[in-house]
Amino acid sequence: MEHKIALLPGDGIGPEIVNEAVKVLDATAQKHGHRFDYTQALVGAAAIDATGDPYPAATHEICEKADAILFGAIGDPRYDNDPTARVRPEQGLLRMRKALGLFANLRPVQIFEPLIDRSPLRREVVEGTDFLCLRELTGGIYFGEHTREGDTARDVCTYTRPEVERIVRMAFELAAKRRKLLTLVDKANVLETSRLWRETAQQIAPEFPEVTIEYMFVDNAAMQIVTRPARFDVMVTENMFGDILTDEASVIGGSLGMLPSASVGERHALFEPIHGSYPQAASKNIANPMATILSAAMMLDHLGLPAEAADIRRAVGDALVAGVVTEDLVEKNGRAASTSEVGSYICSKI
């Protein structure tokens, strides 16, 4: 079986971690008799440097034609430290999401047993944590009107019922395949957009009688994530709340370098680690590639290759048990493996 994969390494450690994910994908393809046809494209600061545009038309065309997109990271200190910059790498990410219709970001939050004592939370708090966060990705305050008049600034949050309905319905469908508990996070006691979210969910709920839905204010959800994370199954929320809560949830597992994600729409799907470009580690061969490799596993699930995805996850688990890990995960007095060594070890276990 052949699949066309768009590779967008991006900035910072992006090229290194994507390279390791490709090694693992190729090992999987060789074992199972598949072929992945890769086409690389520019995005972020790398694209600005080459074309002046963080998401060039040529990149969009490659993504449009691909069966799936594997993405590294976007971000560069040159732009982070320049508040006057008119073109920024992150603009490319927002445009890409909008242009490809990637309306739902899926982040699994799961504890790997070898890392459980690295969590900032106590073992008895995090044990059994396994939930999925769905964040709406192309609407809300990030895509609303942003204005400033003198000493007054305004950011407008807008949602339409169809925007809310499509991601809430996806959340119900995913919950129905898991433990059948859906948590909708909002601020319906204050915000009209949140009341629209809650109303829409209430209208959809009768279609999924097997799923229990609960409604939770965002401040309570933030508290529950750090006090009772194992209580959650599937969580769905709007763009800004999701941005904050998923970053909070990401540290539960002990390292940002372990969390994959997917951004999906009706026609396209993009898979990426959540940790960002980590420019301090760029080109040093020290970054943890596991989140990108696990993102590749999510991509294989999306492509209808669950056995192949399971092989990758099992091999990552083997690396953790064996202690073949980068410096962010190495035990005291242990030896940190390089980015490429971790990738090669995982390949050897497939």
Q: Among this protein's residues, is 349 annotated catalytic?
A: no
CB of 163 closer than 8 Å to CB of 153: no
Task: Please state, in angstroms and rounded to a whole number, the distance separating the CA atoms of residues 305 and 311.
Answer: 10
Task: Please state, in angstroms and rounded to a whole number, the distance separating the CA atoms of residues 109 and 130.
Answer: 6
Q: Point out which residues pair with 39 in neighbouring strands.
A: 6
Kindly provide the residue ranges of all beta strands, DSSP E only, lying in the chain, ordered along the sequence.
2-10, 35-40, 68-73, 104-110, 130-136, 146-149, 152-155, 181-186, 212-217, 234-237, 260-264, 269-273
- The active-site residue out of 130, 243, 301, 318 is 243
- The active-site residue out of 37, 82, 219, 284 is 219
Task: Please state, in angstroms and rounded to a whole number, the distance separating the CA atoms of residues 240 and 232.
Answer: 19
Q: Tell the residue number behind the tokens 């129905």, with chain if given.
A: 176
Helix 161-177 and helix 192-204, axial crossing angle in degrees, nearest 10: 50
Q: Among this protein's residues, is 159 annotated catalytic?
A: no
- The active-site residue out of 76, 187, 233, 311 is 187
Task: Count the neighbouring beta carbons within 10 Å of the beta carbon of residue 262.
Answer: 21
- The active-site residue out of 38, 142, 215, 345 is 142
Q: Among this protein's residues, is 243 annotated catalytic?
A: yes
Q: Among this protein's residues, is 247 annotated catalytic?
A: yes
Cβ-count burial of 130 within 10 angstroms (0-12 exposed, 13-18 middle, 19+ buried)? middle
- The active-site residue out of 82, 155, 247, 284 is 247
Q: Among this protein's residues, is 219 annotated catalytic?
A: yes
Enumerate the active-site residues: 142, 187, 219, 243, 247
